[in-house]
Each structure stands twice: as structure tokens, then as C-alpha cells.
Amino acid sequence: MGSMSISLDTPLSSLLSNKRRVSTLKSFGIVSVNDALTYYPFRVTDPVPPRAIREASPGQAMAFAATVRQCRIIPMNARRGYRLEAVVDDADFAATRKVPGGVARLVFFSGRRGYVDWMAMRLAEGTQVIASGVPGEYMGQLQFTHPDIVTVAPAAEQQEPADGAEPAAGAPRRTRSYDVSTAEEGLARVCRPRPVYHASARLSSERIHETITGLLWMLGGRDMAAPGTDSIAVMSDEDEERFAGTLAEAIPDILPEQIRTERGLMHRAEAFRAIHDPSSVQAFHQGIATLRYEEAFICQTALLQARRANGGASAHPCTGGDHDDGLVERFIASLPFQLTEGQRQVIADIRADMAQSHPMQRLLQGEVGSGKTVVAVAAMLQAVEAGHQAVLVAPTQVLAEQHAETIRAMVEGLRSQAIPVTLITGGMKLAARRKAHAIAASGEPGIIVATHAAFSTTFQASNLALVVIDEQHRFGVEQRESLQSKPADGSTPHMLVMTATPIPRTAAMTWFGDLDISWLTELPGGRKPIRTFVINEADGHTMANMFSHIRARIDAGERAYIVCARIDDPSAGETGRQSGEGDGANGAVLDPYAVDDETPQQRPPLHTVTEIADRLQKLPQFQGIAFATLTGRDKDDVKTQVMADFASGKTPVLVCTTVIEVGVDVKQASCMVIFDADRYGLSQLHQLRGRVGRGGTDSWAFLISRAEPGSTAESRLEVIHDSLDGAEIAQADLEFRGAGDVLGDTQSGTHSSLKLLRVVKDAELIVDARSRAERMLAQDPELKESVQLAGAVLDFTRGNEEFLTSN
């Protein structure tokens, strides 16, 4: 096996003989050698100090070499099962530490006889072992319960016969295998820091570690079955040098050498080794830092290249007619409210961008309800005024229909002949869709509103000057690019991407590095800030007051949303769908924060829509009030009816899941109650909260929590309580959990190639990587000098159509 050629792309199925392990690794997303090396541990243990038994302190981990003096198995009568006790002494080892020898007891409990027998065989009398664990005291004697054991081969057996040779006649046949050949090797292995991986019941962190170090061992040209397989620790200096050389050939460096030396980073091969087989805690962190910088550098190089590729394109410059009375001015004057300063500024920026002959690429970020639609319509009118078409792409059919309706109403009567607003969705009848496609193909100046169907090949807009994408997080880079190459005349349309997902500025800079970014921060005219209260569910008095308050608001003609994380109780005969929402996309992603706890705490079950609707209808505060429920499992026509009854006030209380998070707009809604608020992401709470107070009434959000006092969950809710600024909340959200989650790899199920980069914590590093990448591309735009980097950038762009995605 040692001679087989192996590279980063080699599939594990061709290297590992254990098929069950291959399939378990696959369920972790690990299929190739590269996947295994980039399956990073989330922490590293502190090294265990070597100490003699006489130097032990109860409760402090230690490791020592000792000889087994006696070993017995004792059946436990009260609890069925066995106890194994071994007595060991460390006279030889203690002498090397200049202290007298001592005696300790090693104890193992198990219900399985097979396990106990196996341990007893390893701990046969006279065997030399390395034990590591935390000592306790039992009846005046030092005792280790379930310590880690490494067995050492006796001196006579260290010289193994050459491969394939029969042992000399009379030589004892080896019947037992030992873990290591010398006590020194055993101690070196046990005392090193250990990486800890996310693991499962089927595959422990130890086994993952052993597999990955085994692969490194093979990449370095060593035989898999070498002694001490799970660590590459013990090699002579010249073996070590040869190994490091072969490993560096198998794992070539991606970062240009100059940048690596300037930043004081390791070679890529060395970094993988330091992470998966660290010689010290410091080496581990240095390895992580190296690969984290590499990620930042690849990502920024990819974005800069994408931007450069578009910068060279030509676009239709859209300059209006005579500016005093242009379409855009008439539109702004026709609005029933004053634009905010922010909206004016963004419209001016877009106006300047679209007047250029190279394509605008702008990301517009703004709270739900901050008036992004008005900005988008102004931009589209600018294209129409210049005699071109504009397309607005929406993530869902419902939103596309809503947009088309809103825009029609907004542009009505702005000029003598009506501005055509054409809707194209996948759900349209064929005849209607053909007609819409024909309008688009004719090139007649106007506004087209489309869903993803706009990406289908039949869609041809021959005179397209502007693409507006709503809710960027549903779209990948490649789709943005495919849209931009739509017009038949070879021009590239201007592009405006709008998102309500609050993304902190640092993150936006990384993720949308190929776009210019505008923020809309203030709420448009007439909206009052939402008052937010965090209430502990156990506080009955405050809960009762809240329900009375809601009743008073309903009596005043207002409405209330009550949000629950689940539809119904999965144990009550509900099959399969445990995650709460019927159509995964709208499901609350519950507890995105519980990652690094190796065992998530036992939490009370989540409240369900059925249970809460039932409970609240019985309260005296809600006598005579009609309730409705709404979840992702309801059919579209049911949803429409329920929302209509809620808006009209027929059912003024709506108990629902997070389906209302996107695109629901009921002006009279003034109260929102969110149960289990401590289990949601902050940005999600913030977006839910933005659904009330849209009609200029006072509004209230009540976050009901069962978080323990003093817990992180409690301090998270404080952030929402104290701030109404989405970017600030998103910043906090990122600090409470990895960026990956906020920007979606865990939710959308896609693997972002960014595994180590944490967008907020690493903001400075990203800025540094960006400026170095800019300098490097200025000298070598095609990356001819850096073949490995060019390959990595290509993989990154390919692997991340969804990159940039998701809220």
C-alpha cells in the first residue's frame, strides 16, 4: 500500500479497507483525501504532563509508564455487569523522574463481557503500559477510572522478523499486538495535544483523527501500517526530512511564497500536519492561521477577478431626457411620502452609475420596509426613460406577483402612454407566458418582473439595460453572471442586487467583494420604532399583562401575530417532518448556536402552533376573539384566504410558523409574540419583528424565552432588546456563531468553501488579503506565475455558485 500513488483527489474508498468507515465518512461529507484534510478539528486538547504516581494531584490529568502487577475481573451483583481492576507500579518510570515508585489502581466498568476480557488481555500481568487520565482517590489509594491505555511491546519482541520471513525456529511466535514499541514512543504519543473533531455515535473523534493522520502518513510516502499509526510523531531526523519533502510535493502550496513569508505562515503541507497531528498547541493554532489566511486570499482573489472580468464589459449608458421633468423626478413627486435622506442618496448614486458605459454592480442593503422597492423602481424608470428594458427578478412566484402589482400602481399615469409592466413566472399558463416572452423579445422599453424562469433559455430581452435582483441570498454568482450576459447586442446590463438580510459591513465586503455597496438605514416616513420586550415564560404575571395588552390593541382594531417554531408535536403520530416547517425553506433553523457543545444540553421541547393556538383561545383575555393558524404546510390558496381574513380583522390573531418572515404586509398588525425566542438566530428574530408597525401605528414585539438566567441565550436576546439596527444585530449574530451559519452553509445545505474564515473576527485579515491580492493581480492578472492559486480560485468559484448566499 505504501507504494501506491495517492493525491488529494484520491477517493477514500480506494484507500481504506474498512467499508463501514468509508460510508460513515461519506455521511460527514468526506469522500476524498482533500475532504478529510479539510475536515478541521474544532479545538485541540492541552497536552497531558508526564508525572510519576507519587507526583499525582487528584483532579489533574497526567500520564505515566507502569507495569501491571495484578489484574482481576469482578462481576457486580447489584448492577449487572463487570468491574476490571488492575494494580500497577511505576518504579522504573519514577526513577527517571528521581522520585520513589508508587502504586495505583486502574478501574474499568462495562456491561459487556467481551470488552472486559479484551481489556484484561491488554492488561495482563507483567505488561508495560502507558496510562493517562485524571486520578481520584478511593479508600486511601490513588485510582484512575477508565484511563487511556497504550500497551508497550516487551524488549524481546521489539525486533520483528523481516517482512514475509518466518520467525527463526524456536523463536516465540507473536500472538499479541502492542500499540507502541517503547515507553518513550508511548509517552510521546499520549502527552501530545490532541485535535478534537465533530464526531457521531458511529465514528468517534479518535477514529477520525486516526484516519486523517493515516492519510497524511500515506501522502508522505510512508506505509500505513507503520508503528504508532495514529501519530506521525516518532521518526529519525533524516526520515522526518524525507517525509516532509514528499508531503510537500503531495500537498503543494497555494499561497505565493512571498506572501507566505511576509505573513510568517507555514507551508500548506506543514499546516495540515500541525492541525491534524500537532506537536504543540501553538503549532496547531499556527496551522489554522495559515489555512485561514489561505481561504481569505483565495476568496478575495476570486472576487477581484470576477469584478475585473465585468469591469471590461460595456453597458448601455442610461441618461434621462431633460432632467427637470424626467420620469424619475415625476415618479418621486408622485409618491405619497417624502423620501428619506438615505433613499435620495442611493438613487443619486445609482443614477450616476447607470450613466456610465460600463456596467453598474451595486448591492443595496436595507431593512425590511426601508423602502428598497422605491429605489428599485426609480432605477428601472431610468432605464425605461433611456429607451431600454429593465428586469426585476424575485425569488418566489408570490413575491413576483406582489412586485408586479405594486410597480403597476406606482408607475400608473407617470406619462401619457402607459409604461408596460410584464410578469413572467413559471406558474403561468402557456399562452400568457408566450405573450410575455414575446414582449420581452420585442425590446419594447418597459419593466419586466420575473421569477427564476427568467434564467431559462427561452427568456430573451433584446434591449435589456438593468437587472434588479430581489433577495440576493437565493441567487449565486453564476446566476448573476448568466443574467448579465442576456442582451443579444453583446452589452452587459447594469445590475442592482437588493437584500433585506442584514449583513454586517465587514461580511458584505468579503461576500460581495465584487459589488459596490449601499445601505438604507432609516425607516421611511411614518414608521415608528418597534418596542421590544423580553419575557421569561415562567413569569406568569407579566405573561398575563401581555395578553391583556394584546386584547386591548385588538379591541382598538389592530392585529397580532403569534409565532411558534413548530407546526405540531412530532411524537403525536406526526411522521417524518420534525424540523417544524413543512417546506424546509421557511423552517426556523433552531438553535444555530449549539455547535461546540459536544453534548447539546437537554432543552424543553419547542412550543407548537397547534398547542399554543389551543392554549391561548382558552384564556379569559381572548374570549370572543377568532384565531387562525398558518404554516408552510398549508396550500397556497389556503394561505391567501387566511391572510385575507387576518387583514380584514375577521381573525385578528394569527398563530403561525416563520412563514410570515418574508413578504407579508398587513398594515394593522401591531403586536408580535415569538415563543422560544432564545432558540432563533438574531437576524431571524429581527426580520420577524419587522412585520409589525407597518401602518404607522405604535408596535410591540414580545420575545418569550425559557433561557436560563445568565446564559448566552439570555445575553443574545438582550442584543435584540437594545438595538433596532439590522447591521448591528447581524454583527452580534456573527459574533455569537460562525459566519458560515449566518451566511448560510448550514441552512442551505451547500458547503461553502470557507471552512475556517470567520467573517467578523477575521475582518482585518480579509482586508489584508484583499490588498495583497490586488497587488498580485496588478502584476500578474492571469495568475500565470501562480498555477496552484489559479486552480484553487477556479475551484472556489465553481464550488460557490451558492457562495454569497442565504440569510
Q: How confident is the model at residue 734, as a pLDDT?
A: 63
| Cα Rg of the chain, angstroms | 33
| pLDDT for residue 395 is more than 80 | no
Residues 488 and 595 in one domain: no
Split at pLDDT 50, 70, 90, the class of 476 is very low
pLDDT tens figures, 755-802 = 777 665 677 788 788 888 888 888 888 888 888 888 888 887 765 543
Q: Is 777 helix (H, G, I), strand (E, B) or coil?
A: helix
Residues 560 and 511 in one domain: no
CB 709 within 8 A of CB 699: no
| pLDDT for residue 135 is more than 90 | yes
Q: In whole angstroms, give the CA distance from residue 10 to residue 669.
A: 57
pLDDT tens figures, 171-210 = 444 456 788 888 888 888 788 888 988 887 788 888 888 8
Residue 489 falls inside a structural domain: yes
CB 604 within 8 A of CB 590: no
Residue 255 falls inside a structural domain: no
Q: In whole angstroms, give the CA distance from residue 662 to residue 681.
A: 15
| Sign of the four-CA dihedral 580, 585, 586, 588 | positive
Residues 515 and 568 in one domain: no
Residue 369 falls inside a structural domain: yes
Residues 564 and 671 in one domain: yes
> DSSP state, 656?
E
Q: How confident is the model at residue 325, as a pLDDT?
A: 60
Residue 11 falls inside a structural domain: no
Q: In whole angstroms, give the CA distance from residue 163 to residue 143.
A: 41
Residues 564 and 488 in one domain: no
Instruction: Tell me the whole-structure pTM to 2 decimals.
Output: 0.55
Residues 579 and 688 in one domain: yes
- Structural domain boundaries, residue 129: 53-155+177-190
Q: What is the CATH number of the domain that holds 89?
A: 2.40.50.140
Residues 565 and 499 in one domain: no
Q: How many CB atoms lie within 10 A of CB 439?
A: 17
Residue 146 falls inside a structural domain: yes
| % the chain with pLDDT above 90 | 25
| pLDDT for residue 748 is more than 70 | no
Residue 140 falls inside a structural domain: yes
Residue 330 falls inside a structural domain: yes
Q: Which of 658, 692, 723 is the last residue of a domain?
A: 723
Residues 510 and 585 in one domain: no
CB 493 within 8 A of CB 487: yes
Q: In whole angstroms, give the CA distance from residue 295 to residue 795.
A: 12
Residue 201 falls inside a structural domain: no
| pLDDT for residue 380 is more than 90 | yes
Q: Which of 520, 554, 585 is the last residue of a domain?
A: 520
Split at pLDDT 50, 70, 90, the class of 451 is confident
Residues 392 and 491 in one domain: yes
Residues 545 and 401 in one domain: no
Residues 489 and 558 in one domain: no
Number of structural domains in the chain? 3
**Residue 56, C-alpha cell as written in the block:** 499525582
Q: What is the CATH number of the domain that holds 423?
A: 3.40.50.300
Q: Which of 480, 499, 520 is the last residue of a domain?
A: 520
* Strand order across the 464-470 sheet: 421-424, 446-450, 389-393, 464-470, 494-499, 361-366, 516-520
Residues 501 and 580 in one domain: no
